[in-house]
Amino acid sequence: MIAKIFLSIGVLLAIAFIVLVIIQVRNEQEVERIWRSLESSPAENRFTKDMVAELPAPVQRYFLHSIALGTPLASSVSLEMSGSFRMAQDKPWIPMRAKQITSALKGFVWKAVIGSGLFNFMGADWNGTKKSSKLCSIMITGIYAINESRSSSDRDFL
């Protein structure tokens, strides 16, 4: 009888693990799909004097000195960040890594991993493709313990 109980618990844990892995894969695919939609090919727009003509003279001089006429203008940028993050004033600093892509007129995606070792807080925040959302996941040894997703109308999230 006890063996059946342990077997049943093991089966339920295995099913829960499989469901969590499926959720993790789907969330990562959604964030990657949005990321790819924000990546841009080389820009067709090129820098011209007309782009700064209405700006104050010192600003015009700065841009005309900094950017060569005819330079292709980027419409998106990808960033990688690392540093420390603190959950509250009385908590210790913990390592943080993040990647972000920002695209003019399209939106952004920010993906972060906070913590290291056996306990990680992972999250993604994005705005683009006609919707915005935040995905918050707490992972313990690579397995989702909490998975939360909210739309942009939920103000007090993340």
Instruction: Give the range of the structural domain holding residue 11, as residue numbers without chain letter.
Output: 2-40+75-151
Please compute the mean of the pLDDT values over residues 3-24 and round it to a whole number.
88
Is residue 84 domain-shared with residue 141, that is, in the same domain?
yes
C-alpha span between 13 and 11 (Å, rounded): 5
- pLDDT (0 to 100) of residue 146: 54
Q: Count of alpha carbons within 13 Å of 14, Cβ hemisphere only?
A: 6
On the 0-12 / 13-18 / 19+ scale of CB atoms within 10 A, 89 is exposed
- pLDDT (0 to 100) of residue 69: 94
- Residue 102 near residue 80, CB atoms below 8 Å: no
Asked if residue 53 is part of any domain, the answer here is yes
Asked if residue 156 is part of any domain, the answer here is no
Is residue 94 domain-shared with residue 131, that is, in the same domain?
yes
Residue 156 has pLDDT above 50, yes or no: no
Is residue 36 domain-shared with residue 60, that is, in the same domain?
no
Asked if residue 54 is part of any domain, the answer here is yes
Is residue 65 domain-shared with residue 10, that is, in the same domain?
no
- pLDDT (0 to 100) of residue 120: 77
Residue 93 has pLDDT above 80, yes or no: yes
Q: Tens digit of pLDDT for each residue in 23-78?
A: 778 888 888 888 888 887 666 789 999 999 999 999 999 999 999 999 988 888 89
Can you give the pTM of this predicted structure? 0.65
Residue 81 has pLDDT above 80, yes or no: yes
Q: Tens digit of pLDDT for each residue in 118-154?
A: 777 778 887 765 555 665 555 555 555 555 555 554 4
When divided into structural domains, the chain yields a total of 2
Domain end (from 74, 89, 124): 74
